[in-house]
Structure 1
Amino acid sequence: MLSVVIRTKNQAPALRFLLKNLTERYAGDVDEIVVIDNLSTDNSQQIALNHGARFETIEKFSYGGSANFAASKATHPIIVIFSAHSYPISHDFFKLIKKSFDANPNLAGIRCLHNSSDYRNYINGVTVQQDPNRSGLIFSGSAFAKAIWQKHPFKEDVATFEDKEWTTRVVAAGYDIELVPAIFSYEIKRSKNQELFRFKNDLVGNYQLWHQDVSILSGLKGFLASIKRYTIDWIVSIWFSLR
């Protein structure tokens, strides 16, 4: 049986669409829906309850901590995790996930496909050992086995990339991660402040997981490149607006 867990904070419109999609289009495939909410101030709770989902609140958010909390609240052996701003598309999305877990008892997790790099890795047979970043889990459209999570919980002291860190750890422990052609969409519009928050966490996460350090020189190059890009974009936009 299969549980869907959804991490969200103040994303009521996106959450409503995801739940409508799950309950109307995939009602026969999903056995449980749990919304993991980080102290939303909108009507997310009412939306969840209106769609028959269980609503759980997490007060102190971290990426790894919220993933552990979500997994602990799911009651079925296969857990599919979404962010509120992602949603399944292909008609056999959950059937493909169940089929993969049935076929491979050593399977720890599945990465579904949402962009061109996912699809290229799937078609070209790029394994998780070759590319743990793009062939490993992504916690906006992935599935994992609860039994393996219980042995190997997600790390809560990583800034982000808790999905990639878990991927590398369980693969090293001898389990499998597979790409599966179950298609989902990922769409989010972040404010500049949200982009900064994500950038800072990604920077720390890249260092923690991939040991990618940042020097003053590389930071300066990135800053100058951004100024150049914004200036060119502004000039081009003005030119075509005039035309």
Structure 2
Amino acid sequence: MPAATVVVRCRDEAPALERALASLRAQTVRPQVVVVDSGSVDGSLEVARRMADTVLTVPPEAFTYGGALNLGAAHADAAVHLALSAHCVAGPHWVERSLALLAEDGVGAASGRRLDPTGRPIVGRYLQTPDDARRDPFWGLSNHASSWRREVWEAEPFREDLAASEDLEWSWRVLARGWSVAFAPDVEVPMPHRRHARPDVLWRKIGREVAAVAELRDLPAPSLPAVIRHVLVPDPRTSTRPPLLRVVSPYRVLEVLAHDAALRRSARARGRAGAGPAAGSGVGPTSSGGATGAV
């Protein structure tokens, strides 16, 4: 039995997928690799069949992020599961260090972060609490590179009806069950594909992610002065880059504007529908102080 199983979700990512799978084959602890493909036509399936242990397919119209992870986890042989985006390249110790985090008592899931929810550098590892998730629902687990115990996933599978942010919603339920979610800088995996995406693609992606959280947690719309403040004053919790470089970063400005615009759209939609927060979020409603993506 392998020590870990990595689930990779993919669609039309052949060159990136090959780099991602090569990084998994170079791990100090070699995992079982399960690729879940949702309708690739660019050669991704051929790459997966050559480099992965198991290749699963779902029709594009049936794909959801949570559904693909549930399918991959159901075919995993290991007691520890990891998720890696097809866009990402993991460092050689990623699986080994993730296993070490999950070996700690009470830790049910893990992901990489350099800064804690207050903006302080994480030394060793940080254990998220339900209060952390209430204060900032956008700071948390990211399934571009995450890990979890099989027993936790069996008790709380990923929701398959969410368009995005299935990772955050799932982590709230895990925290509500009494498990800790651990974060450490040495299991961080970069997300260069976000910076390289076309502005319109990134705008829509951020919009989906923020809208999903806003609807689950009934988040208010930021005021216009708050939007201006978010643009001019970088959130210290989201990056270790110098503040001046972040102020003038077009990528950061786009992410902040997309984030706040999605909050405003969601609040308007709830006002028209008269709807409250969705059930099952685990840690209850909160308010948000602005964009908290890794910029």
Residue 183 (structure 1) aligns with: 188
Separation of aligned partners in 2, 1:52 and 1:65: 19
The alpha-carbon distance between structure 1 residues 121 and 151, as it changes in their structure 2 partners (threshold 3 A), is farther
Separation of aligned partners in 2, 1:154 and 1:52: 23
Once the two structures are TM-superposed, the CA of residue 205 in structure 1 deviates from its matched residue by 0.8
Q: Which amino acid aligns with 2:201?
A: Q
Higher-Rg structure is 1
Q: Which amino acid aligns with 1:80?
A: L
Q: Which amino acid aligns with 1:84?
A: A
Separation of aligned partners in 1, 2:124 and 2:188: 17
Which aligned pairs between 1:26-175 and structure 2 lie closer than 5 A?
Answer: 26=27, 28-59=28-59, 60-89=62-91, 91-104=92-105, 106-113=106-113, 120=120, 122-123=122-123, 127-129=127-129, 130-132=131-133, 133=137, 136-175=140-179
Are 1:109 and 1:145, in contact at CA under 8 Å, matched by a contact in 2?
Answer: yes
The alpha-carbon distance between structure 1 residues 210 and 136, as it changes in their structure 2 partners (threshold 3 A), is same
Separation of aligned partners in 2, 1:183 and 1:19: 17
Figure out how many residues of one structure are paired with residues of the other and give that number.
Answer: 220
Are 2:116 and 2:126, in contact at CA under 8 Å, matched by a contact in 1?
Answer: no
Which aligned pairs between 1:7-26 and structure 2 lie closer than 5 A?
Answer: 7-23=9-25, 25-26=26-27
Where does the alignment leave 5 or more consecutive residues of structure 2 unmatched?
A: 232-247, 251-295
Q: Which has the higher strand share?
A: 1
Are 1:3 and 1:30, in contact at CA under 8 Å, matched by a contact in 2?
Answer: no
Once the two structures are TM-superposed, the CA of residue 161 in structure 1 deviates from its matched residue by 1.1
The alpha-carbon distance between structure 1 residues 135 and 108, as it changes in their structure 2 partners (threshold 3 A), is farther
Q: Secondary structure at the match of 1:97?
A: helix
Residue 202 (structure 1) aligns with: 209
TM-score (norm 1): 0.78
Residue 241 (structure 1) aligns with: none
Q: Secondary structure at the match of 2:5?
A: strand
Deviations 1:130-169 (A, max 9, x none): 4334663210111011111111111122331111111111
Residue 229 (structure 1) aligns with: none
Once the two structures are TM-superposed, the CA of residue 195 in structure 1 deviates from its matched residue by 2.7
Q: Which amino acid aligns with 1:7?
A: R
The alpha-carbon distance between structure 1 residues 117 and 87, as it changes in their structure 2 partners (threshold 3 A), is farther
The alpha-carbon distance between structure 1 residues 70 and 159, as it changes in their structure 2 partners (threshold 3 A), is same
Q: Which amino acid aligns with 1:19?
A: L
Once the two structures are TM-superposed, the CA of residue 47 in structure 1 deviates from its matched residue by 0.8
Residue 282 (structure 2) aligns with: none
The alpha-carbon distance between structure 1 residues 37 and 135, as it changes in their structure 2 partners (threshold 3 A), is same
Identity %: 22
Where does the alignment leave 5 or more consecutive residues of structure 1 unmatched?
A: 226-231, 235-243
Once the two structures are TM-superposed, the CA of residue 192 in structure 1 deviates from its matched residue by 4.6
Residue 228 (structure 1) aligns with: none
Are 1:159 and 1:204, in contact at CA under 8 Å, matched by a contact in 2?
Answer: no
Q: Secondary structure at the match of 2:167?
A: helix
The alpha-carbon distance between structure 1 residues 127 and 117, as it changes in their structure 2 partners (threshold 3 A), is closer
Name segments (4+ residues, structure 1) moved above 6 Å: none
Q: Secondary structure at the match of 1:79?
A: strand
Separation of aligned partners in 2, 1:128 and 1:32: 28
Are 1:141 and 1:184, in contact at CA under 8 Å, matched by a contact in 2?
Answer: yes
Deviates more, 1:133-142 or 1:158-167: 133-142
Deviations 1:35-86 (A, max 9, x none): 1111011101111122243211122111222222222122211011011111
